[in-house]
Every structure is written in C-alpha cells, then in structure tokens.
Structure 1
Amino acid sequence: MTESPEQQSAVPGRWRRRRPAFVRPSWWPLPAGVLLGAACGFSYGMLAQPEYAATSYAMVTAGKDVDPAAALGYAQSYGRLATSDATLTYAKGAAGEPVRELRTHVRSETSPDSPMITVTGTSADRDRAADIANAVTEAVVVSSGHVSKDTGVKLIKFSHAVPPVDPASPSTPLGTAVGAGAGGLVGGLVLLVRPRPGRRGVTPQVPAPAQGGAADERELVR
C-alpha cells in the first residue's frame, strides 16, 4: 500500500531508505571495447574499396641429365626473382603500371615440396589483377629461358590467371570479427592497468554518523 506524504514525513529521516543509485559494473570497458571495435571493423568492411587478387602458376622442370631435386632449388630462386626490378621492368608494359606501383601489387610464393611458383597480382580492378599476375609470370618464364641451357632446367607457365569473381579484401564479417577482437583486447588491458578500490594510496570512505547519535551518547554518560 502506498504511503501518503504525511505518513512519509512522520518517519524519522535516519530510517528512510533512499532508492539505490545505478552502479556501473567494474568490467564495463570490456564489452564497450568489443562493441566499439566491431562497429569500426564493420564500417571499414562496408566503406573500404574492394581489392581483387588473381594468381598464375609456373613450374620448373628438370632436363634429362639433371637431378630432379635441383628443380626445387631453382624454383626458390625464380620465385625470388619474380619481384625483382629486372623482372618488373620487363613486365611493366604488359601490366600497364610503372615499376614502383607494380611492386606493391604483386607477390610470389614457392613451396619447399614442389617446384611450383605462384604469382599473385592485386588491384581494385579484377581484370587488371589478372593482367599483373600474367605479365609477371611471363617475364619470369622468358628470363629463365635465356639461361635454360646453362641451368639444365626449364620454367613453364602452368596456369593462366583469370579475373576473380569476388574481392579478396576487405571482408565485412572478417573485419567485424577482427575489430571486435582488437576492441576486447584493449578493454581487457584497461581493466588490468586501471586503479582498483582497496589499493595503497586510496583513502576508504567512512560513513557519517546518523543524526541524533551524539545526543544519545551524552544521555548515556549522564
């Protein structure tokens, strides 16, 4: 039953109970960091310009009088030469980009178990990405052909790069997940480094005595 204002005023002030104020949980930086990071990652995935990646393959084959294991070593060497200035200078005409720009849009990889070289071209245009990969691969194949009689191995183009259908980056789900993880990490660090109650240098708060307490003590002394 609800008390009237007159009944509430008749109750002594020290016995009144105030409505407890909202207390913010101590672990609030963790969910806040996760939400903020997820929002930033989602925004980046939606607003950033998509980038396409196309890959072509080349394989090193050994001659009749050459140890097949030597093809693995030459594949490693040709893989490193794929992004060299000499190769990119030869490929810049077919790729349609200067050497400085072409260097940032191409990468090569090799496998220790197979004499295969992968050349990947990246660009905001899917057709240009395929052109970059094919131009660089063709340049490496032509360069290796000049010394094939001396090395005893031959580099052949194994697969032609085609324009990709879907962009390689950015991925909105991946960006959201990465952003949430980074935000959670930052929130966890904030929880670790911020001061906590009860540490040295923090003065505890002592509640003030209730009204009328001093008068009651004086009456007891008398």
Structure 2
Amino acid sequence: MTEHPRRPAALRRVRSLPPWSLLAAGAVAGGLLGGAYGALQPPVYTATAYVVAVPTEKSDPASALGFAQAYGRVATQLAVLGDAQGAAGVPVRTLQRSVRTATSPDAPMVSITATAPSAGLAADMANAVSLSLTEHARSSRKTTNVELQQFARAVRPTDPSSASPALTGLVGASAGGLLGGLVLLVRPRRERETPAATAAVPGQAPAADLHGAL
C-alpha cells in the first residue's frame, strides 16, 4: 500500500489549536486592519444648505411643492453647477461627484449636501450650489409663479462625517470574528482516536468475544 505523505507541521499545529483560537485570531486581525484603515483614510466633512419654494400670488402651495421636487433634480445639472463652480472654487466635475440633493414629499424644501476633505470647502460648495439654484429659479419665476428662497445656509461642520478609527476597528473585529467562525465550520474535524478499551490487540480476541465465551 502507498503511504500518504506526511502533513506539514504548520498544518498539524493549526489543527491542534482549540476552536476558540480561530475566532480570537480573526477578531484581532480584523480589528487591527479596520483600525488602520480608519486612521489612514483622509477625513470627510459634510455640509448641507436648504432652499424653499414659495408660491407667488398667482400660484398655490401645491404648485410650490411640485416645483420643489423639480428643482431638486435640476440642482445637480450642468447648467446650475457650471454657474456655481466659481463661487465654490472647484471645477464642475468635483461638484458632480460631491454634491447631492434631497426633497420631501410633504414640504417644498430642497436640501443640498456637499462632501469635501475640508470643512470650509464642504460649506462653500453647498452654499454656491444653493445660490446658483435660486438664481436659476428667479429667472423663470414669471413662468412658474414660484420663487426659490434660501432657507438656511450651510455652516462649517466641526467634526468629520467619516467613520472614526474606533468604529472601523470595531467593524473589522466583527468581520474578522465572523470569518474565523466560518473557517471553524468548514475546518476538517480531527481524526478521532480509537478508545483503548475497544482497541484490538494483536493475538487477543475482542472484549465482546471474551464476554460471550464466559
């Protein structure tokens, strides 16, 4: 018969470790990697400005609500961002990547949110886009009978909106522990040793046969 090759010593050591060691190793490794990612990634700041649609004497609140939804979609178009790039101090491509808008089905309000690596730049971009949007709305006020006014300017955020190293480390530890648990589930079980009481000794009958003979 062909003998199986011996398993590497490292593999035998890994299989000899207690099951909880895989969970602990995965959690520690994931926590270290997550904490390092949180510490090395650049901070991100978020600032939000708000504009509100106001109906004129020839319109009504329902029309203002509908135009607010439309202006929320127009705010990120090239025409609005092109006029805002000068006041924001960044090119249009940066505004397209960093500015998002949101509207409410119950209130004629548009929120303009900008993200940037610095707090001042985030506030400047949000305010520049909101100002450009109100200017575009003012030019078509006679047609829409709705005026867009600035409700709240964006202020410089005091803290970054990106995840802290402690949070990313906690997420990494959870993911590492989960991965260690999955490895533990698929790891082959140790070969069970035959109990000494039932082991057959060469030249000696099994214990069950001796009991029957008696």
TM-score by length of 1: 0.74
Specify which of 155, 172, 197 is matched with residue 189 of structure 2.
197
Structure 1 segments of 4 or more deviating over 4 A? 203-209
The corresponding residue for 1:214 is: 202
Structure 1 pair 29–114 and aligned structure 2 pair: CA distance change class (3 A): farther
Partner of 1:83: 76
- Cα offsets for 1:18-51 (capped at 9, x unmatched): xxxx942235433332222222221122222111
Paired residue type of 1:46: A
From 89, 92, 95, give the equivalent of 2:88: 95
8 Å CA contact 1:42, 1:173 repeated in 2: yes
- Tell me the secondary structure at the aligned position of residue 175 of structure 1: helix
Change in 2 beyond 3 A, CA 1:43/1:73: same
- Would you tell me which structure has more helix in proportion to its own residues? 2
- Alpha-carbon displacement from aligned partner over 1:144-173 (angstroms, at most 9, x marks no partner): 111111111111011111211111113223
Residue from 34, 37, 47 that aligns with 2:27? 34
TM-score normalised per structure 2: 0.77
> Structure 1 regions of 5+ residues with no counterpart?
1-21
User: Aligned-pair RMSD on alpha carbons?
Assistant: 3.0
Structure 1 residue 45 corresponds to structure 2 residue 38: yes
Identity across the alignment (%): 45
Amino acid at match of 1:77: A
**2-structure distance, mates of 1:164, 1:61:** 28
Distance of 1:36 and 1:70 partners within structure 2? 57
Classify 1:131/1:180 alpha carbon distance in 2 versus 1 (closer, same or farther; 3 Å): same
Distance 1:189 1:80, change over 3 A: farther
Does residue 1:159 correspond to 2:161, yes or no?
no
Q: Take 2:108 and 2:22, find their aligned partners in 1: how far apart are those partners?
A: 51
Aligned positions, number: 192
- Compared with structure 1, are the counterparts of its residues 187 and 51 closer, same or farther at alpha carbon in structure 2 (3 Å cutoff)? same
Q: Residues of 2 paired with 1:118 and 1:89: CA distance?
A: 19
Structure 2, unaligned runs of 5 or more: 1-14
